Amino acid sequence: MYIPTLDDVLAGRERIDPYIHRTPVLTSRILNELTGAELFFKCENLQKAGAFKARGAANAVFGLSHEQAKKGVATHSSGNHGTCLSYAAGRRGIPCTVVMPRTAPQAKKDAVRGYGGRVVECEPSTSSREKVFAEVVGETGAEFVHPYNDHRVIAGQATCSAELIEQVESLDALVAPIGGGGMISGTCLALSHLAPQVKIYAAEPEQADDAYRSFRAGHIIADDAPDTVADGLKVPLKELTWHFVRNYVTDIQTASEQEIVDAMKLIWKRLKIVMEPSSAVPLATVLKNPEVFAGKRVGIIITGGNVDLEKLPWN
């Protein structure tokens, strides 16, 4: 297992610079008063294709050799990674195939196609997904880019917190959501080298708390059918992300469904940004654990903004 290094992050930053936004950092006096902390929201919902995953996807796509690039890339994802890989492949002008359950939301399929990617449907089961995906790779010779258990992807995600510490001085802590652990691993990778004094907290839904339980058990525990409004956070940790979580995360905190929706609405109302339920879990945990964050300068990663405007969780 190759562990990405600071050099990978610095090379990735240069590589993806033309294809991603340097996203703004927002603050709110009212949210500071509510939490007793000084919060700095890194708005990756304003990132290309609407999610931080454009960083990792672009780093993987633009790092391919000319020969490999011609064969294109492939992944299985019904979430932002599929959209972002399609975006990055489109920018390089190479083929991208995303395997998705036929039951995935139409909007997600349209998003992949909107950036020029091809959607191949499978049955909503792991076995079907693996079978169909193997066929796709067999036919095309496409390079598999895993949503998070991939050193190129993690090095790409690391550019987000590398940027944040240039935008905000002397942070005490950083809180990011945790699903498969790609963003958290990138955060650990960047900060362990560039700002080791910053404590890293992961935020997870109670109803998909496999990382929380893994962290306490000391080994990976997978969830049994997690179900949460934060649908970006249902996937389990893998070897590479577990390496970073185990070694660099200070703590993992959880929030209930209601706490997540309340925090989401608070951010929409106060920061005036459109973001996903998954991105609200960090504020929910900060509100829930004032003793940990009060008086501190805390970075919060708003991971994505791809939400169905017709189906908001409070309507």
Binding site for a second copy (CB under 8 A): 21, 24, 26-27, 29, 45-46, 48, 50, 265, 268-269, 271-275, 305, 309-310, 312, 314-315
Residue with tokens 């991971």: 303
Cα(108)–Cα(221) distance, integer angstroms: 28
Distance CA 35, CA 198 (A): 19
- Taking the complex as a whole, how short is the minimal distance between the CB of residue 47 and a second copy, in angstroms? 9
Measured from the CB atom, the residue of 221 and 274 that comes closer to a second copy is 274
- Residues 201 and 254 sit within 8 Å (Cβ to Cβ): no
Select 248 or 268, whichever has its Cβ closest to a second copy: 268
* 18 burial level (CB within 10 Å; 0-12, 13-18, 19+): exposed
Q: Report how far residue 109's alpha carbon sits from residue 103's, in angstroms, rounded to the nearest whole number.
A: 10
- What's the min distance (Å) between Cβ of 272 and a second copy? 3
Distance of closest approach, residue 29 Cβ to a second copy, in angstroms: 8
* Pair of tokens at residue 258: 């209601």
CB atoms closer than 10 angstroms to residue 266: 18
Least CB distance to a second copy at residue 42 (A) = 12
Rounded-to-integer distance, Cα 18 and Cα 90, Å: 13
Pick 168 or 274: Cβ nearer a second copy: 274
Identify the H or E element spanning 216.
Answer: helix 210-217
Distance in Å, CB of 123 to a second copy, minimum: 30
In terms of phi and psi (left: phi > 0; alpha: psi -120 to 50; beta: otherwise), the region of 218 is left
Q: Which two tokens stand for residue 294?
A: 């009060």
Output 2 or 314, the one with its CB closest to a second copy.
314
Q: Is 26 helix (H, G, I), strand (E, B) or coil?
A: strand
Which CB atom, from 48 or from 53, has the smaller least distance to a second copy? 48
Tell me how far apart the terminal alpha carbons of the chain are, to the nearest angstrom: 45
Q: Which is nearer to a second copy, 14 or 308 (CB)?
A: 308
> Between 51 and 155, whose beta carbon lies closer to a second copy?
51
Give me 150's structure tokens: 């991939």
**Which C-beta is closer to a second copy: that of 202 or that of 267?**
267
> Could you tell me the smallest distance in angstroms from the CB atom of residue 273 to a second copy?
6
Q: Minimum CB separation from a second copy for residue 54, in Å?
A: 12
Q: Which helix (H) or strand (E) holds 14?
A: helix 6-16
Contact 81/48 with Cβ under 8 angstroms?
no
- Nearest distance from C-beta of residue 35 to a second copy, angstroms: 17
